[in-house]
Amino acid sequence: MAEKQGLTPQWIEWCRRLQAIAQTGLTFAEDPFDVDRYQQLQILAAEMSAAACDTPVAELLTHFQQEQGYATPKVIVRGVVFQDDKILLVRERRDGCWTLPGGYAEVWHSPSENVIKEIREESGYLTKAVKLLAAYDRSHHPHPPVPQAEYTLYFLCEIIGGAATTSLETDGVGFFHENELPPLSLPRTLPAQIARMFEHKRHPEWPPDYD
């Protein structure tokens, strides 16, 4: 979902809010006229979103319709693993750029279980979660826009076994110095977020960041 030039983040926020109202309304509406109104509102949200990005209306509408139930943020977990003065990154096959290992949290797994699983699947390393470093709202950070709300949880993890191994999602695994980072996958990880994780390493007494 690439933002078009000239359209403000506020425009995208309005689209997201319309979709959230429509989704939640469809969850609880019983009157057929109310259902029809919320469906029309969802179509309007898709049309407005398409005007703000390069994604077709039909694709956005299908995405919106797949989101059911009360509208809540999706949760992503990312593992922060240091080795000496380097941080673990994996290269995404999808865009050829690097990111902290992680992904959407799966149901019936705790946040720490999810991040351990993601690190193992994407990098080959076995880890244990040590500390929550940050809980960020994606919309408060300059990632490329997406239709849904997302929270990302960053966990400091320590290696307890395994070895560097690629996966269906990743084709590179490596440790990088703070000032020698490879091209980052900006939908997933921002340079400022990597810098903040290094700051947490230097200040282990800091509490977790939020928002």
41 in Cβ contact with 27 (< 8 Å): no
Q: Are 97 and 195 members of one domain?
A: yes
Please tell me the total count of domains within the chain: 2
Q: Indicate if 54 and 146 belong to the same structural domain.
A: no
Residue 57 near residue 46 (C-beta atoms within 8 A): yes
- pLDDT one-digit tens code per residue, 156-166: 999 999 999 99
pLDDT-based confidence at 5, cuts 50/70/90? Answer: very low
Distance between CA atoms of residues 88 and 98, nearest Å? 10
b/e per residue 176-205 (b: at least 16 CB within 10 A): bebeeeeebbebbbbeebbebbbebbeeee
Q: For residue 11, is pLDDT > 80?
A: no
Q: Do residue 200 and residue 143 come from a single domain? A: yes
Query: Ramachandran region of residue 149, left (φ > 0), alpha (ψ -120 to 50) or beta?
Result: beta
Whether 38 and 93 share a structural domain: no
pLDDT in tens, 39-86: 999 999 888 888 877 788 898 888 888 888 988 999 999 999 999 999
- Supply the range of the domain harboring residue 35: 9-66
Half-sphere exposure of 55 (CA within 13 A, CB side): 23
Same domain assignment for residues 206 and 154: yes
Cβ–Cβ < 8 Å for 151, 187? no
Give tens-digit pLDDT for 103-126. 999 999 999 999 999 999 999 999
Please report, as a single letter, which amino acid is at residue 135: A
Predicted structure pTM score: 0.82
Q: Residue 195 sits in a domain of what CATH number? A: 3.90.79.10
Ramachandran quadrant class, 124 (left: phi over 0; alpha: psi -120 to 50; beta: rest): left
Residue 97 lies in a domain: yes
Identify the band that residue 6 occupies on the pLDDT scale cut at 50, 70 and 90.
Answer: very low
Asked whether residue 2 is domain-assigned, the answer is no
Read off the pLDDT band of 7 (50, 70, 90).
very low
Please check whether residues 161 and 122 belong to one and the same domain. Answer: yes
Indicate if the pLDDT at residue 196 is higher than 70: yes
What is the pLDDT at residue 53? 74
In angstroms, rounded to a whole number, what is the distance separating the alpha carbons of residues 107 and 105?
A: 7
Kindly state whether residues 52 and 86 are assigned to the same domain: no
49, 66, 83 - which closes a domain:
66
